[in-house]
Amino acid sequence: MPARFKTIIEPFRIKVVEPIRMTTRSERKKLIEAVGLNPFLLKSQDVVIDLLTDSGTTAMSAEQWAGVMRGDESYAGSPSYFRFEASIQEVTGHKEIIPTHQGRASERIMFQSLCRPDQVIISNTLFDTTRANAESVGCVVRDIPCAEGKLLLEPAPFKGNIDLEALENLLKENPGNVAMVILTITNNSGGGQPASLANLKAASALARKFKVPFCIDGCRFAENSWFIKLREKGYENKTTREIAQETFALADIISVSAKKDGMGNIGGFLTMNREDWARDCRNNLILTEGFPTYGGLAGRDLDAIAIGIHEALDEDYLRYRIRSVEYVGEALLKAGIPIVTPPGGHAIYIDAGTFLHHIPSSQFPGASLSAGIFEFAGIRGCEIGSVMFGKTDAEGNEIPHKYELVRLAIPRRVYTQSHMDFVVEALTAFKLEESAKMRGLKFTYKPKVLRHFTSRFNWV
Ligand SMILES: Cc1ncc(COP(=O)(O)O)c(C=O)c1O
Protein backbone atom coordinates (compact mmCIF):
# COMPACT_ATOMS: atom_id res chain seq x y z
CA MET A 1 0.00 0.00 0.00
CA PRO A 2 1.55 3.35 -0.99
CA ALA A 3 2.59 5.23 2.16
CA ARG A 4 0.67 8.42 1.29
CA PHE A 5 -2.70 6.84 2.17
CA LYS A 6 -3.47 6.48 5.84
CA THR A 7 -6.50 4.17 5.48
CA ILE A 8 -5.37 0.59 5.91
CA ILE A 9 -7.71 -1.60 3.90
CA GLU A 10 -8.47 -5.30 4.26
CA PRO A 11 -5.86 -6.70 1.82
CA PHE A 12 -8.32 -9.16 0.27
CA ARG A 13 -11.60 -9.27 -1.61
CA ILE A 14 -14.53 -11.43 -0.55
CA LYS A 15 -15.53 -14.28 -2.84
CA VAL A 16 -17.80 -16.38 -0.61
CA VAL A 17 -20.12 -14.98 2.03
CA GLU A 18 -21.92 -16.47 5.00
CA PRO A 19 -25.16 -14.86 6.19
CA ILE A 20 -25.42 -13.42 9.69
CA ARG A 21 -28.82 -13.99 11.32
CA MET A 22 -30.11 -10.86 13.00
CA THR A 23 -31.86 -11.47 16.34
CA THR A 24 -33.81 -9.35 18.81
CA ARG A 25 -32.86 -8.68 22.41
CA SER A 26 -35.79 -10.68 23.76
CA GLU A 27 -34.78 -13.67 21.60
CA ARG A 28 -31.19 -13.42 22.83
CA LYS A 29 -32.30 -13.18 26.47
CA LYS A 30 -34.10 -16.52 26.09
CA LEU A 31 -31.20 -18.06 24.17
CA ILE A 32 -28.54 -17.18 26.75
CA GLU A 33 -30.74 -18.14 29.71
CA ALA A 34 -31.46 -21.51 28.06
CA VAL A 35 -27.72 -22.32 28.07
CA GLY A 36 -27.09 -21.38 31.69
CA LEU A 37 -25.61 -17.97 30.75
CA ASN A 38 -22.53 -19.62 29.22
CA PRO A 39 -21.89 -18.30 25.67
CA PHE A 40 -19.80 -21.41 24.84
CA LEU A 41 -23.06 -23.38 24.88
CA LEU A 42 -24.90 -21.19 22.35
CA LYS A 43 -25.51 -22.28 18.78
CA SER A 44 -23.17 -20.22 16.59
CA GLN A 45 -26.03 -19.35 14.22
CA ASP A 46 -27.65 -17.45 17.09
CA VAL A 47 -24.60 -15.18 17.43
CA VAL A 48 -24.42 -11.88 15.54
CA ILE A 49 -20.66 -11.17 15.88
CA ASP A 50 -18.71 -14.19 17.09
CA LEU A 51 -15.56 -13.14 18.95
CA LEU A 52 -15.37 -16.27 21.08
CA THR A 53 -12.02 -17.26 19.63
CA ASP A 54 -9.56 -16.64 16.82
CA SER A 55 -8.80 -20.37 16.84
CA GLY A 56 -9.82 -22.32 13.75
CA THR A 57 -12.19 -19.53 12.71
CA THR A 58 -9.95 -18.13 9.95
CA ALA A 59 -11.36 -17.48 6.48
CA MET A 60 -9.09 -19.50 4.22
CA SER A 61 -7.72 -18.01 1.02
CA ALA A 62 -8.44 -19.12 -2.55
CA GLU A 63 -4.91 -20.61 -2.58
CA GLN A 64 -5.63 -22.62 0.54
CA TRP A 65 -8.88 -23.95 -0.93
CA ALA A 66 -6.91 -24.90 -4.05
CA GLY A 67 -4.53 -26.72 -1.68
CA VAL A 68 -7.48 -28.50 -0.13
CA MET A 69 -8.40 -29.86 -3.58
CA ARG A 70 -4.78 -30.97 -4.11
CA GLY A 71 -4.79 -32.77 -0.75
CA ASP A 72 -3.78 -36.41 -1.05
CA GLU A 73 -5.49 -38.76 1.38
CA SER A 74 -2.99 -41.63 1.27
CA TYR A 75 -2.62 -43.15 4.73
CA ALA A 76 1.19 -43.04 4.74
CA GLY A 77 3.75 -40.89 2.92
CA SER A 78 1.22 -38.54 1.32
CA PRO A 79 2.67 -35.68 -0.79
CA SER A 80 0.51 -33.38 1.36
CA TYR A 81 2.72 -34.30 4.34
CA PHE A 82 5.90 -33.51 2.45
CA ARG A 83 4.56 -30.08 1.43
CA PHE A 84 3.56 -29.48 5.09
CA GLU A 85 6.97 -30.67 6.32
CA ALA A 86 8.89 -28.43 3.88
CA SER A 87 6.81 -25.33 4.76
CA ILE A 88 7.25 -25.79 8.49
CA GLN A 89 10.93 -26.67 8.19
CA GLU A 90 11.45 -23.43 6.29
CA VAL A 91 9.75 -21.26 8.91
CA THR A 92 11.00 -23.04 12.06
CA GLY A 93 14.41 -24.28 10.91
CA HIS A 94 13.67 -27.58 12.69
CA LYS A 95 14.22 -30.96 11.04
CA GLU A 96 11.64 -33.16 12.76
CA ILE A 97 8.06 -32.08 11.93
CA ILE A 98 5.21 -33.91 13.64
CA PRO A 99 1.63 -33.04 12.59
CA THR A 100 -1.16 -33.17 15.19
CA HIS A 101 -4.88 -32.48 15.05
CA GLN A 102 -4.53 -29.31 17.15
CA GLY A 103 -2.34 -27.53 19.71
CA ARG A 104 -3.43 -29.45 22.79
CA ALA A 105 -2.52 -32.75 21.10
CA SER A 106 1.01 -31.39 20.53
CA GLU A 107 1.10 -30.36 24.19
CA ARG A 108 -0.10 -33.72 25.48
CA ILE A 109 2.43 -35.61 23.36
CA MET A 110 5.27 -33.26 24.32
CA PHE A 111 4.58 -33.39 28.08
CA GLN A 112 3.87 -37.13 28.20
CA SER A 113 6.98 -37.93 26.17
CA LEU A 114 9.48 -35.49 27.67
CA CYS A 115 8.36 -34.65 31.25
CA ARG A 116 8.08 -36.57 34.54
CA PRO A 117 5.75 -36.07 37.52
CA ASP A 118 6.85 -33.39 40.03
CA GLN A 119 9.11 -31.64 37.52
CA VAL A 120 8.73 -27.88 37.24
CA ILE A 121 7.69 -26.07 34.05
CA ILE A 122 8.43 -22.34 33.93
CA SER A 123 6.62 -19.97 31.58
CA ASN A 124 5.75 -16.34 30.87
CA THR A 125 2.17 -17.77 31.18
CA LEU A 126 0.93 -21.11 29.94
CA PHE A 127 -2.38 -21.14 28.10
CA ASP A 128 -5.22 -23.05 29.85
CA THR A 129 -4.97 -26.25 27.78
CA THR A 130 -1.18 -26.21 28.00
CA ARG A 131 -1.33 -25.86 31.77
CA ALA A 132 -3.99 -28.60 32.04
CA ASN A 133 -1.85 -30.97 29.94
CA ALA A 134 1.31 -30.18 31.96
CA GLU A 135 -0.54 -30.70 35.24
CA SER A 136 -2.12 -33.93 33.99
CA VAL A 137 1.36 -35.53 33.84
CA GLY A 138 2.03 -34.27 37.38
CA CYS A 139 4.23 -31.28 36.53
CA VAL A 140 4.15 -28.10 38.61
CA VAL A 141 3.68 -24.95 36.53
CA ARG A 142 5.25 -21.62 37.51
CA ASP A 143 4.03 -18.60 35.52
CA ILE A 144 6.39 -15.65 35.84
CA PRO A 145 5.28 -12.85 33.50
CA CYS A 146 7.36 -9.67 33.55
CA ALA A 147 6.33 -6.83 35.91
CA GLU A 148 4.79 -4.71 33.10
CA GLY A 149 2.64 -7.70 32.07
CA LYS A 150 0.93 -7.65 35.45
CA LEU A 151 -0.17 -4.01 35.11
CA LEU A 152 -3.13 -4.61 32.86
CA LEU A 153 -4.04 -1.03 32.12
CA GLU A 154 -0.50 0.42 31.73
CA PRO A 155 0.96 0.41 28.21
CA ALA A 156 4.37 -1.17 27.52
CA PRO A 157 5.75 -2.59 24.26
CA PHE A 158 6.53 -6.16 25.36
CA LYS A 159 4.18 -7.14 28.15
CA GLY A 160 4.46 -10.79 27.06
CA ASN A 161 8.07 -11.03 28.28
CA ILE A 162 9.11 -13.48 30.99
CA ASP A 163 10.60 -12.13 34.24
CA LEU A 164 14.27 -13.02 33.66
CA GLU A 165 15.38 -12.55 37.26
CA ALA A 166 12.62 -14.82 38.55
CA LEU A 167 13.51 -17.33 35.82
CA GLU A 168 17.15 -17.46 36.91
CA ASN A 169 16.12 -17.86 40.57
CA LEU A 170 13.71 -20.69 39.78
CA LEU A 171 16.33 -22.46 37.66
CA LYS A 172 18.83 -22.16 40.57
CA GLU A 173 16.29 -23.33 43.16
CA ASN A 174 15.28 -26.43 41.18
CA PRO A 175 18.56 -27.93 39.94
CA GLY A 176 17.96 -30.93 37.68
CA ASN A 177 14.20 -30.72 38.19
CA VAL A 178 13.02 -28.19 35.61
CA ALA A 179 11.43 -30.05 32.69
CA MET A 180 11.16 -27.04 30.36
CA VAL A 181 11.08 -23.30 30.02
CA ILE A 182 8.16 -22.35 27.74
CA LEU A 183 7.59 -18.92 26.19
CA THR A 184 4.06 -18.43 24.82
CA ILE A 185 4.12 -15.97 21.92
CA THR A 186 2.08 -13.91 21.93
CA ASN A 187 0.95 -14.39 25.52
CA ASN A 188 -2.73 -15.28 25.06
CA SER A 189 -3.72 -15.49 28.75
CA GLY A 190 -1.80 -12.26 29.46
CA GLY A 191 -3.67 -10.13 26.91
CA GLY A 192 -2.21 -11.26 23.56
CA GLN A 193 0.94 -9.30 24.35
CA PRO A 194 4.21 -9.93 22.50
CA ALA A 195 7.59 -11.04 23.82
CA SER A 196 10.67 -9.26 22.48
CA LEU A 197 13.52 -11.06 20.79
CA ALA A 198 15.88 -9.70 23.46
CA ASN A 199 13.76 -11.39 26.14
CA LEU A 200 13.41 -14.62 24.15
CA LYS A 201 17.18 -14.70 23.60
CA ALA A 202 17.97 -14.08 27.28
CA ALA A 203 15.44 -16.69 28.44
CA SER A 204 16.78 -19.31 26.03
CA ALA A 205 20.37 -18.54 27.08
CA LEU A 206 19.41 -19.08 30.75
CA ALA A 207 17.64 -22.35 29.90
CA ARG A 208 20.73 -23.49 27.98
CA LYS A 209 23.04 -22.52 30.86
CA PHE A 210 21.00 -24.72 33.22
CA LYS A 211 20.69 -27.48 30.55
CA VAL A 212 16.90 -27.18 30.42
CA PRO A 213 15.02 -27.53 27.10
CA PHE A 214 13.66 -24.23 25.77
CA CYS A 215 10.22 -24.48 24.21
CA ILE A 216 8.19 -21.94 22.24
CA ASP A 217 4.40 -22.16 22.16
CA GLY A 218 4.28 -20.37 18.82
CA CYS A 219 0.55 -20.28 18.03
CA ARG A 220 0.76 -16.58 17.15
CA PHE A 221 4.37 -16.45 15.96
CA ALA A 222 3.57 -14.21 12.96
CA GLU A 223 1.74 -11.59 15.06
CA ASN A 224 4.61 -11.67 17.58
CA SER A 225 7.11 -11.15 14.73
CA TRP A 226 5.18 -8.14 13.42
CA PHE A 227 5.19 -6.55 16.90
CA ILE A 228 8.97 -7.08 17.05
CA LYS A 229 9.35 -5.37 13.67
CA LEU A 230 7.23 -2.43 14.86
CA ARG A 231 8.59 -2.06 18.38
CA GLU A 232 12.06 -3.59 18.85
CA LYS A 233 15.11 -1.55 17.93
CA GLY A 234 17.23 -3.18 15.24
CA TYR A 235 14.39 -5.18 13.66
CA GLU A 236 12.59 -2.46 11.72
CA ASN A 237 14.29 -3.43 8.46
CA LYS A 238 14.05 -7.20 8.85
CA THR A 239 11.21 -9.08 7.26
CA THR A 240 8.68 -10.79 9.53
CA ARG A 241 9.83 -14.10 8.03
CA GLU A 242 13.43 -13.37 9.12
CA ILE A 243 12.20 -12.38 12.58
CA ALA A 244 10.10 -15.56 12.90
CA GLN A 245 13.10 -17.64 11.82
CA GLU A 246 15.37 -15.87 14.33
CA THR A 247 12.75 -16.48 17.05
CA PHE A 248 12.31 -20.17 16.30
CA ALA A 249 16.08 -20.71 16.04
CA LEU A 250 16.20 -20.21 19.82
CA ALA A 251 13.89 -23.15 20.56
CA ASP A 252 14.73 -26.79 21.24
CA ILE A 253 11.09 -27.68 20.78
CA ILE A 254 8.14 -25.81 19.24
CA SER A 255 4.47 -26.52 19.87
CA VAL A 256 1.94 -24.82 17.64
CA SER A 257 -1.81 -24.83 17.19
CA ALA A 258 -2.07 -24.17 13.45
CA LYS A 259 -5.62 -22.89 14.05
CA LYS A 260 -4.16 -19.44 14.72
CA ASP A 261 -1.21 -18.22 12.61
CA GLY A 262 -1.22 -21.50 10.67
CA MET A 263 -4.42 -20.08 9.10
CA GLY A 264 -5.98 -23.54 9.30
CA ASN A 265 -9.46 -24.47 10.48
CA ILE A 266 -7.90 -27.45 12.26
CA GLY A 267 -4.34 -28.68 12.87
CA GLY A 268 -1.17 -28.30 14.84
CA PHE A 269 2.42 -29.42 14.95
CA LEU A 270 5.36 -30.20 17.16
CA THR A 271 8.91 -29.63 15.91
CA MET A 272 12.44 -30.30 17.17
CA ASN A 273 15.89 -31.27 15.98
CA ARG A 274 16.59 -34.12 18.42
CA GLU A 275 15.85 -37.46 16.76
CA ASP A 276 15.47 -39.31 20.10
CA TRP A 277 12.77 -36.87 21.28
CA ALA A 278 11.05 -37.10 17.90
CA ARG A 279 11.03 -40.91 18.10
CA ASP A 280 9.40 -40.81 21.57
CA CYS A 281 6.86 -38.21 20.46
CA ARG A 282 5.96 -40.15 17.30
CA ASN A 283 5.47 -43.35 19.32
CA ASN A 284 3.07 -41.47 21.57
CA LEU A 285 1.39 -39.82 18.56
CA ILE A 286 0.58 -43.21 16.99
CA LEU A 287 -1.47 -44.18 20.07
CA THR A 288 -4.09 -41.49 19.57
CA GLU A 289 -3.42 -39.23 16.57
CA GLY A 290 -2.54 -41.65 13.78
CA PHE A 291 0.40 -42.37 11.49
CA PRO A 292 3.28 -39.86 11.77
CA THR A 293 2.73 -38.43 8.28
CA TYR A 294 -0.83 -37.31 8.99
CA GLY A 295 -1.08 -37.03 12.79
CA GLY A 296 -4.85 -36.86 13.06
CA LEU A 297 -5.32 -34.58 10.05
CA ALA A 298 -6.65 -35.17 6.57
CA GLY A 299 -4.14 -34.61 3.75
CA ARG A 300 -6.17 -31.57 2.68
CA ASP A 301 -5.70 -29.98 6.12
CA LEU A 302 -1.94 -30.46 5.84
CA ASP A 303 -1.98 -28.62 2.50
CA ALA A 304 -4.13 -25.77 3.87
CA ILE A 305 -1.61 -25.21 6.68
CA ALA A 306 1.43 -25.57 4.39
CA ILE A 307 0.07 -22.56 2.46
CA GLY A 308 -1.49 -20.70 5.41
CA ILE A 309 1.68 -20.50 7.44
CA HIS A 310 3.31 -18.42 4.69
CA GLU A 311 0.21 -16.21 4.25
CA ALA A 312 0.33 -15.38 7.97
CA LEU A 313 3.79 -13.86 7.47
CA ASP A 314 2.67 -11.57 4.63
CA GLU A 315 3.36 -8.02 5.80
CA ASP A 316 0.35 -6.38 4.12
CA TYR A 317 -1.80 -8.91 5.96
CA LEU A 318 -0.04 -8.36 9.30
CA ARG A 319 -0.20 -4.56 8.99
CA TYR A 320 -3.99 -4.80 8.46
CA ARG A 321 -4.41 -7.49 11.12
CA ILE A 322 -2.65 -5.74 13.98
CA ARG A 323 -3.96 -2.28 13.07
CA SER A 324 -7.57 -3.47 12.87
CA VAL A 325 -7.41 -4.95 16.37
CA GLU A 326 -5.72 -1.78 17.62
CA TYR A 327 -8.49 0.31 15.98
CA VAL A 328 -11.15 -1.44 18.09
CA GLY A 329 -9.02 -1.05 21.22
CA GLU A 330 -8.51 2.67 20.68
CA ALA A 331 -12.24 3.24 20.18
CA LEU A 332 -13.16 1.30 23.34
CA LEU A 333 -10.60 3.24 25.37
CA LYS A 334 -12.04 6.47 24.01
CA ALA A 335 -15.46 5.31 25.21
CA GLY A 336 -14.01 4.78 28.69
CA ILE A 337 -14.07 0.98 28.60
CA PRO A 338 -11.06 -0.45 30.46
CA ILE A 339 -9.03 -2.84 28.31
CA VAL A 340 -5.63 -4.46 28.59
CA THR A 341 -3.34 -1.84 27.08
CA PRO A 342 -1.94 -1.76 24.48
CA PRO A 343 -4.40 -3.97 22.56
CA GLY A 344 -3.10 -7.47 21.86
CA GLY A 345 -2.38 -9.00 18.47
CA HIS A 346 -5.45 -11.18 18.10
CA ALA A 347 -7.89 -9.85 20.66
CA ILE A 348 -9.12 -7.09 22.88
CA TYR A 349 -9.26 -8.00 26.56
CA ILE A 350 -11.84 -6.03 28.54
CA ASP A 351 -10.92 -5.69 32.21
CA ALA A 352 -14.30 -6.84 33.53
CA GLY A 353 -13.13 -6.53 37.14
CA THR A 354 -12.75 -2.76 36.62
CA PHE A 355 -15.63 -2.34 34.15
CA LEU A 356 -18.17 -4.08 36.45
CA HIS A 357 -16.38 -3.10 39.66
CA HIS A 358 -19.57 -3.51 41.71
CA ILE A 359 -19.51 -7.31 41.08
CA PRO A 360 -17.04 -9.19 43.33
CA SER A 361 -14.74 -11.89 41.90
CA SER A 362 -16.78 -14.52 43.75
CA GLN A 363 -19.69 -13.59 41.46
CA PHE A 364 -17.65 -13.72 38.23
CA PRO A 365 -17.78 -10.25 36.64
CA GLY A 366 -16.23 -11.60 33.42
CA ALA A 367 -18.91 -14.25 32.99
CA SER A 368 -21.58 -11.67 33.81
CA LEU A 369 -20.18 -9.31 31.17
CA SER A 370 -20.02 -11.99 28.48
CA ALA A 371 -23.63 -13.03 29.13
CA GLY A 372 -24.62 -9.33 29.21
CA ILE A 373 -23.06 -8.31 25.89
CA PHE A 374 -24.57 -11.33 24.18
CA GLU A 375 -28.06 -10.43 25.39
CA PHE A 376 -27.55 -6.75 24.59
CA ALA A 377 -26.01 -6.97 21.13
CA GLY A 378 -25.43 -10.59 20.10
CA ILE A 379 -21.66 -10.30 20.61
CA ARG A 380 -20.01 -13.48 21.88
CA GLY A 381 -16.77 -13.16 23.87
CA CYS A 382 -14.90 -15.46 26.23
CA GLU A 383 -14.37 -15.07 29.97
CA ILE A 384 -10.72 -15.34 31.02
CA GLY A 385 -10.98 -14.96 34.76
CA SER A 386 -12.19 -16.80 37.84
CA VAL A 387 -14.43 -19.16 35.88
CA MET A 388 -11.58 -20.25 33.60
CA PHE A 389 -8.73 -20.17 36.11
CA GLY A 390 -10.38 -20.08 39.56
CA LYS A 391 -9.77 -23.02 41.90
CA THR A 392 -11.70 -24.55 44.79
CA ASP A 393 -10.10 -25.02 48.24
CA ALA A 394 -10.48 -28.09 50.49
CA GLU A 395 -13.73 -26.69 51.97
CA GLY A 396 -15.18 -26.07 48.53
CA ASN A 397 -14.67 -22.28 48.62
CA GLU A 398 -13.75 -20.49 45.41
CA ILE A 399 -10.19 -19.12 45.12
CA PRO A 400 -10.48 -16.32 42.55
CA HIS A 401 -8.05 -15.73 39.67
CA LYS A 402 -5.99 -12.54 39.79
CA TYR A 403 -7.66 -11.00 36.71
CA GLU A 404 -11.26 -10.88 35.50
CA LEU A 405 -11.05 -10.44 31.73
CA VAL A 406 -13.38 -10.88 28.78
CA ARG A 407 -11.57 -11.62 25.56
CA LEU A 408 -12.97 -10.43 22.26
CA ALA A 409 -10.89 -12.46 19.83
CA ILE A 410 -10.95 -11.33 16.22
CA PRO A 411 -11.08 -14.20 13.71
CA ARG A 412 -8.56 -13.79 10.87
CA ARG A 413 -9.88 -12.24 7.60
CA VAL A 414 -13.52 -12.79 8.65
CA TYR A 415 -15.04 -9.47 9.74
CA THR A 416 -14.84 -6.07 8.04
CA GLN A 417 -14.37 -2.66 9.58
CA SER A 418 -18.14 -2.05 9.77
CA HIS A 419 -18.57 -5.22 11.85
CA MET A 420 -15.97 -3.79 14.21
CA ASP A 421 -17.68 -0.38 14.22
CA PHE A 422 -20.86 -2.17 15.31
CA VAL A 423 -18.96 -3.86 18.18
CA VAL A 424 -17.63 -0.49 19.34
CA GLU A 425 -21.05 1.18 19.12
CA ALA A 426 -22.75 -1.67 20.98
CA LEU A 427 -20.18 -1.82 23.79
CA THR A 428 -20.26 1.94 24.18
CA ALA A 429 -24.07 1.82 24.57
CA PHE A 430 -23.74 -1.15 26.95
CA LYS A 431 -21.44 0.90 29.17
CA LEU A 432 -23.89 3.81 29.30
CA GLU A 433 -27.15 1.90 29.58
CA GLU A 434 -26.45 -1.51 31.12
CA SER A 435 -23.14 -1.88 32.94
CA ALA A 436 -24.23 -0.43 36.30
CA LYS A 437 -27.31 -2.69 36.34
CA MET A 438 -25.40 -5.94 35.72
CA ARG A 439 -25.60 -8.62 38.41
CA GLY A 440 -23.11 -11.31 39.35
CA LEU A 441 -23.44 -15.02 38.62
CA LYS A 442 -23.46 -18.21 40.67
CA PHE A 443 -22.68 -21.73 39.43
CA THR A 444 -25.52 -24.16 38.85
CA TYR A 445 -23.06 -26.67 37.32
CA LYS A 446 -19.32 -26.55 38.03
CA PRO A 447 -17.06 -28.97 36.11
CA LYS A 448 -13.74 -29.99 37.69
CA VAL A 449 -11.39 -28.93 34.86
CA LEU A 450 -11.51 -26.38 32.02
CA ARG A 451 -14.65 -25.04 33.69
CA HIS A 452 -15.39 -22.25 31.21
CA PHE A 453 -16.36 -24.68 28.45
CA THR A 454 -19.35 -26.38 30.08
CA SER A 455 -20.24 -24.58 33.33
CA ARG A 456 -23.75 -23.20 33.88
CA PHE A 457 -24.95 -20.27 35.97
CA ASN A 458 -27.86 -18.30 37.36
CA TRP A 459 -27.99 -14.57 38.02
CA VAL A 460 -27.28 -13.78 41.70
C1 LIG B 1 -1.25 -19.94 23.38
C2 LIG B 1 -2.07 -21.16 23.07
N3 LIG B 1 -1.52 -22.37 23.21
C4 LIG B 1 -2.20 -23.49 22.93
C5 LIG B 1 -3.51 -23.45 22.51
C6 LIG B 1 -4.25 -24.74 22.25
O7 LIG B 1 -4.49 -24.92 20.90
P8 LIG B 1 -5.77 -25.76 20.37
O9 LIG B 1 -6.98 -25.00 20.69
O10 LIG B 1 -5.51 -25.92 18.90
O11 LIG B 1 -5.74 -27.09 21.06
C12 LIG B 1 -4.13 -22.20 22.36
C13 LIG B 1 -5.54 -22.12 21.90
O14 LIG B 1 -6.20 -21.13 21.96
C15 LIG B 1 -3.38 -21.03 22.64
O16 LIG B 1 -3.92 -19.80 22.49
Condensed to tens digits (0 to 9), the pLDDT of residues 119-148 reads 999 999 999 889 999 999 999 999 999 999
- Residue 6: the pLDDT is 85
- Residue 398: the pLDDT is 87
**DSSP structure string for 111-146:** HHHH--TT-EEEES---HHHHHHHHHTT-EEEE-B-
Q: How far is the CA of 93 from the centre of ligand 1 (A)?
A: 22
Q: Can you state the angle between helices 240-248 and 221-231, rounded to 10 degrees?
A: 110
Tens of pLDDT, residue by residue over 66-116, are 999 999 999 999 999 999 999 999 999 999 999 999 999 999 999 999 999
User: Which residues, in sequence order, are bridge partners of residue 449?
Assistant: none
- Please count the other Cβ atoms lying within 10 Å of the Cβ belonging to residue 9: 12
Is 225 in contact with 244 (CB distance < 8 Å)? yes
Q: How far is the CA of 185 from the centre of ligand 1 (A)?
A: 11
Mean pLDDT for the chain overall: 96
> Hey, which of 260, 289, 346, 349 would you mutate to test ligand 1's pocket, going by the most ligand atoms within 8 Å of its Cβ?
260
- Residue 154: the pLDDT is 93
Q: Which of 25, 48, 37, 27 is nearest to 368 (CA)?
A: 37
User: Which residues, in sequence order, are bridge partners of residue 254?
Assistant: 216, 271
* CA dist 425 → 8, 377, 429 (Å): 21, 10, 6
For residue 372, give every residue at least 6 positions away whose Cβ sits within 8 Å of its Cβ, in sequence order, or none.
430, 434, 435, 438
Q: Is pLDDT above 60 for 275? A: yes
Tens of pLDDT, residue by residue over 238-257, are 999 999 999 999 999 999 99
> Hey, which of 109, 128, 257, 288 would you mutate to test ligand 1's pocket, going by the most ligand atoms within 8 Å of its Cβ?
257
- The span from the CA of 174 to the CA of 177, in Å, is 5
Assign 457 to helix, strand or coil.
strand
- Residue 1: the pLDDT is 52
Report which protein residue has its CA nearest ligand 1's atom 6.
103
Sign of CA dihedral 60, 66, 70, 73: positive
What would the mean pLDDT of 265-294 be, rounded to a whole number? 97
Q: How far is the CA of 432 from the centre of ligand 1 (A)?
A: 34
Q: How are strands ordered across the β-sheet holding 268-272?
A: 96-100, 268-272, 253-257, 214-217, 178-184, 120-123, 140-143
pTM of the full structure: 0.95
